[in-house]
Amino acid sequence: MVESLAIAGAGRSAATPDGGTRRISRQSLHDTLVGHLRDMIIEGQLPPGSRLHEGQLGEELGVSRTPLREAIKYLASEGLVELVQSRGAVVKRFDAKDVHDMLVVIGNLEELAGRLCCRNASDAEIATIRAAHDEMTRLYGIGDRLAYYKLNQEIHTLIVRYSGNEALSHVHATLQMRLKRIRFIGHEGPERWAAAIAEHEEMITALERRDGDALAETLGRHLRNAWERVKGAV
């Protein structure tokens, strides 16, 4: 049973501590639903190939079909859900070749991004990545896997963003979104998780030295190792 989001009243007025009211925007409801459904897909509560039953999900999450349908369509635009004629919305299933091909491409994109980031990022931007890395390490220490994963992905996004190449960022974002579930399962098990964070330690060291070749090599190896960690599960 999916835990209720307690957002059945979203879109209406809500009480504030001083007795007034505040508006919960339609956009807030949309973002909350998208984020929650995305997490369910990433964690496997909605496994690949499973159908998204709007009536059942709406009842469990406490929302009407209209915002739920909009959230599902948004996830379809991200490539996490397929809209299949006669079946409705289905969690996207990628076969092993799909996953391998995407990891090869995203690995090459991140190698390029690493070199550009070392050249173009400001000291403040590198410090932002360091702060995210330190927080990710803390989450690893307490075993908060989903929060760790989200920050892990944010670090990869920041490296690409601070490369200063918008076309690179756009293509990377599309592939990263489709690989969310796959990259999450790459951290399953203590040995895999420890190996992944060790590679991130290498990344941050290379970045702070502005050693583009070293960062590119580590990022490429990290993505190749990601395939080794997930290929048995796809």
Average pLDDT per 10 consecutive residues for the chain, totaling 234 residues: 42 42 60 89 86 88 89 89 86 89 95 98 98 97 92 96 96 88 77 91 98 97 89 72
- pLDDT of 26: 60
Tokens 């989200």: give the residue: 150
User: Encoding tokens for residue 66?
Assistant: 């209209």
pTM over 0.85: no
Q: What is the DSSP letter of 92?
A: -
Determine which helix (DSSP H) or strand (DSSP E) holds 101, and give its type and residue range.
Answer: helix 96-120
Say how far apart CA 109 and CA 52 lie, in whole Å. 32
Determine which helix (DSSP H) or strand (DSSP E) holds 120, and give its type and residue range.
Answer: helix 96-120
- pLDDT of 25: 54
Tell me the residue length of the chain. Answer: 234
| Non-local CB neighbours of 70 within 8 Å, separated by 6+ positions | 30, 33
Q: Within 10 A of 9 (CB to CB), how many other CB atoms are there?
A: 12
| Non-local CB neighbours of 157 within 8 Å, separated by 6+ positions | 172, 173, 176
130 HSE (CA, 13 A, CB side):
13
Determine which helix (DSSP H) or strand (DSSP E) holds 67, and give its type and residue range.
Answer: helix 65-78
Determine which helix (DSSP H) or strand (DSSP E) holds 13, and give its type and residue range.
Answer: strand 13-15
- pLDDT of 24: 40
Under 8 Å between Cβ of 223 and 106: yes
136 HSE (CA, 13 A, CB side):
24
